[in-house]
Amino acid sequence: MFDVNRIREDFPILKEQVHGKPLVYLDNGATTQRPARVVERMSEYYLRYNANVHRGVHYLSNLCTDANERARERARDFIRAASVEEVIFTSGATGGINLVAFSFGEAFVREGDEILVTGMEHHSNIVPWQMLCERKGATLKVLPVLDNGELDMEALSHLLTGRTQLVAVAHVSNVLGTINPVRRVIDAAHAAGACVLVDGAQAVQHLPVDMQELDCDFYVFSAHKMYGPTGVGVLYGRRELLLQMPPWQGGGEMIKEVRFEKTTYNDLPFKFEAGTPDFIGIIGLGEAIDYLSSIGMENVAAHEEALTRHARERLSAIPGLRFHGSSPHASSVISFTLDGVHPLDAATLLDQLGIAIRAGQMCAAPLMQRCGVTAMIRASLAMYNTFQEIDALHDGLLRVVAMLREKR
Chain contacts with ligand C6P (rule: CB under 6 A): 29-30, 92-94, 122, 124-125, 170, 174, 199, 201-202, 222, 358, 362-363
For every residue of 171-236, DSSP letters joined together read SB-TTT-BB--HHHHHHHHHHTT-EEEEE-TTTTTTS---HHHH--SEEEEEGGGTTS-TT-EEEE
- DSSP code for 320: T
Please identify, using beta-carbon distances, which residue of 92 and 343 lies nearer to ligand C6P.
Answer: 92
CB of 2 to ligand C6P, least distance (A): 25
CB of 395 to ligand C6P, least distance (A): 24
Q: Please say if 363 is a catalytic residue.
A: yes
SS3 content of the chain, % helix, strand, coil (to 5): 45, 20, 35
How many C-beta neighbours within 10 Å does residue 73 have? 13
Please identify, using beta-carbon distances, which residue of 229 and 401 lies nearer to ligand C6P.
Answer: 229
CB of 104 to ligand C6P, least distance (A): 17
Pairing relationship of beta strands 139-143 and 114-118 according to DSSP bridges: parallel
Please identify, using beta-carbon distances, which residue of 64 and 115 lies nearer to ligand C6P.
Answer: 115
CB of 351 to ligand C6P, least distance (A): 16
Q: Which position among 64, 216, 363, 371 bears the catalytic label? A: 363
Helix ranges (H only) for 80-111 are 93-108
Please identify, using beta-carbon distances, which residue of 94 and 164 lies nearer to ligand C6P.
Answer: 94
SS3 letters for 130-161? HHHHHHHCCEEEEECECCCCCECHHHHHHHCC
For 82, phi and psi rounded to 5 degrees?
A: -70, -35
CB of 356 to ligand C6P, least distance (A): 12
Q: Which of 279, 325, 388, 214 is nearest to 53 (CA)?
A: 279
Please identify, using beta-carbon distances, which residue of 201 and 288 lies nearer to ligand C6P.
Answer: 201
**Catalytic residue numbers?**
363
